[in-house]
Structure 1
Amino acid sequence: MIKRIEKCKLKDVELIQKVSIETFNDTFKDQNSSDNMEAYLLKAYNLNQLEKELKNDSSEFYFIYVNDKIACYLKINVNEAQSEQMGSDYLEVERIYIRKDFQSKGLGKHLFEKVITIATDLGKKKIWLGVWEENKKALEFYHRLGFFQTGAHSFYMGDDEQIDLIMTKILD
């Protein structure tokens, strides 16, 4: 399996939108109403919103390609782009979206190696992310990577308030 990571550019916005909607839908559609899913997807992944995120100097997107196919993408934030103001020592992993056909192939671990490299290069001391309290598979994965719960915040799926656990990893 040949893997490569590439930083996304503004021209990739439609691909980011496609992968975002596909992976989010595949992961969460069975646990949420179709109205709430549609409302969230329209708000979070419309082209104007994604373009704004791509233009923010404190956010970065990366695609991982496997055999020249986009397998997943990563979005990270620092400074004011973080979805919670955690401070300058933190790097946020806002999205780690792996397409269904590429799950359980070690790509998540591969992405986190990239995250740690970026965080270290930027002089960050901690990595944090939010994960839905009902997403047991993701929680187990983050625990294995050395993350621990440091808080919680509300996440709105349409009009449904859900709880995301804030998970933190301290870098050596």
Structure 2
Amino acid sequence: MDKIKVIKATSDDVEPLKKIGIETFSETFASMNSEENMKAYLEESFANQKLLTELKNPNSIFYFAKYEEDIIGYLKINTGESQTELKNTKSLEIERIYVLKAYHGKNVGQLLYQKAIEVAQEINVDYVWLGVWEENLRAISFYKKNGFVEFDKHIFRLGDDEQTDIMMKLQMKK
């Protein structure tokens, strides 16, 4: 899998972003949520206009993981006012890292994570933070392995279901 490339998405990438976003979110969470809640979340979160607005936002950056010509995962990071909660000018939020199940265990998530840390170092933030569903044990383990610690909780709405996310933070070395 040494041919995986991480490339920045552009405003021309609405359709591929929508496709990988829906596919990876569905693979990850469909079995644990109702069909109605999944449908409502996917329609709202991956609407073309919403994605285009996010892609054009200078404080939100998307990266694709590509293997040969296929997009196999993606990363979304936010800074400044684009962060979903903390909005600290000295922090970076990893809002999403998703990888197709067929590529789990092949270092794709780690490559996307490393891109987020590289950006955090470039813009000289004090810490990186994220929210992860308390039932997504695989992701929690991944972030703990990479040095993140829990610091709070918040509610994430999936359709009409309120779910608890664990908020995690990584202090950047100066």
Identity of aligned residues (%): 42
Mapped partners of 1:18, 1:139: distance in 2: 25
Mapped partners of 1:135, 1:91: distance in 2: 21
- Spell out, residue by residue over 1:26-70, the C-alpha distance to the aligned partner (whole angstroms, 9 max, x if none): 110011000000000011111011011111110000011122321
Counterpart of 1:7 in structure 2 is: 8
Q: CA deviation at 1:80?
A: 0.2
SS of the residue corresponding to residue 84 of structure 1 reads coil
Q: Map of 1:12-161 to 2, 5 A cutoff?
A: 12-161=13-162
SS of the residue corresponding to residue 57 of structure 1 reads coil
- Spell out, residue by residue over 1:86-130, the C-alpha distance to the aligned partner (whole angstroms, 9 max, x if none): 411110000101011111111111112111110010011111111
Gaps of 5+ in 2: none
Mapped partners of 2:117, 2:40: distance in 1: 33
TM-score by length of 2: 0.96
Mapped partners of 1:70, 1:14: distance in 2: 12
SS of the residue corresponding to residue 50 of structure 1 reads helix
Return the letter of the residue paired with 2:73.
C
Tell me which moved more, 59-68 or 90-99: 59-68
Mapped partners of 2:113, 2:126: distance in 1: 15
Return the letter of the residue paired with 2:138.
K
Runs (4+) of structure 1 exceeding 2 A deviation are none
Mapped partners of 2:80, 2:20: distance in 1: 26
**8 Å CA contact retained: 2:62, 2:75:** yes
TM-score by length of 1: 0.97
Return the letter of the residue paired with 1:96.
I
Aligned length: 172
SS of the residue corresponding to residue 156 of structure 1 reads strand
Mapped partners of 2:46, 2:68: distance in 1: 26
What is the alpha-carbon root mean square deviation over aligned residues?
Answer: 0.9
Q: CA deviation at 1:164?
A: 0.7
Mapped partners of 1:169, 1:85: distance in 2: 14
Gaps of 5+ in 1: none
